Amino acid sequence: MSSNIRTGIVLLLMLTVLPLKAVETLDVSLEKGQLLLTPRHGGDGSAWGNENCSACHFSRSIHSEAPVIRNIVREVGFSTCTGCHGSNGTEAERKCTICHNPQRLPTAPIMTAPETHDFSVKESVPLNDRECLICHHSSDMDGVFEPDIDLSYFPHAQPALDLPYRSGVEFCLRCHNKNDQQPGYEMQARFPRDPLVDMDVNYQHYDVHGYQRGSGQRTYTGLRSGSYQYGDLLECTDCHAMHGTHNPKLILDRTDAGATKLAPEIRNLPVLINVVDGDYSQLCVSCHDMNTLVEQGAENTGNGLSGVHQFGTDCRQCHVHGMAVQTGL
Ligand code: HEC
Ligand code: HEC
Ligand code: HEC
Ligand code: HEC
Ligand code: HEC
Ligand code: HEC
Ligand code: HEC
Ligand code: HEC
Residue 188 identity: Q
Task: State the average pLDDT over residues 128-146.
Answer: 97
Ligand at minimal distance from the CA of 120 is: 4
Report percent pLDDT > 90 for the chain.
86
Q: What pLDDT is recorded for position 110?
A: 96
Residue to mutate, 167, 275, 288, 303, ligand 6, most ligand atoms under 8 Å from C-beta: 288
Q: How far is CA 76 from CA 28, 59, 97, 99, 293, in A?
A: 21, 11, 11, 8, 54
186-195 in b/e burial notation, b at 16+ Cβ within 10 A? ebeeeeebbb
Contacts of 52 by beta carbon, 8 Å cutoff, 6+ apart: none
Measure 56 CA to ligand 1 centroid, in angstroms.
Answer: 7
| pLDDT exceeds cutoff 60 at 3 | no
Closest alpha carbon to 224 in 115, 126, 307, 310: 307
Whether ligand 4 lies within 6 angstroms of the CB of 209 is answered as no
User: Which tens digit of pLDDT belongs to each residue from 156-197?
Assistant: 999 999 999 999 999 999 999 999 999 999 999 999 999 999
pLDDT digit string, tens, across residues 194-228: 999 999 999 999 999 999 999 999 999 999 998 99
List Cα–Cα distances, 262 to 77, 149, 225, 258, in angstroms.
37, 23, 9, 9
How far is CA 50 from each of CA 26, 41, 54, rounded to the nearest angstrom? 17, 10, 10
For a pLDDT cut of 70, what percent of the chain falls above it?
A: 92
- pLDDT band (50, 70, 90) for residue 25: low
Is residue 284 within 8 Å of 294, Cβ to Cβ?
no
Q: CA-to-CA distance for 326 and 249, rounded, in angstroms?
A: 22
Q: Which of 15-19, 132-136, 158-162 has the lowest mean pLDDT?
A: 15-19
Ranking 75-84, 121-130, 298-307 by mean pLDDT, the lowest is 121-130
Q: Do 282 and 253 meet the contact criterion of CB atoms below 8 Å apart?
A: no
Ligand 6 neighbour 284 (Cβ under 6 A): yes
Confidence band of 118 (pLDDT split at 50, 70, 90): very high
Alpha carbon 42 to its chain centroid, in Å, reads: 32
Query: How confident is the model at residue 22, as a pLDDT?
Result: 46
Residue 15 binned pLDDT confidence (cut-offs 50, 70, 90): very low
Q: Of the ranges 19-33, 57-71, 241-255, which one carries the lowest mean pLDDT score? A: 19-33
Task: Determine how many CB atoms are found less than 10 A away from the CB of residue 243.
Answer: 23
Return mean pLDDT, the chain.
92
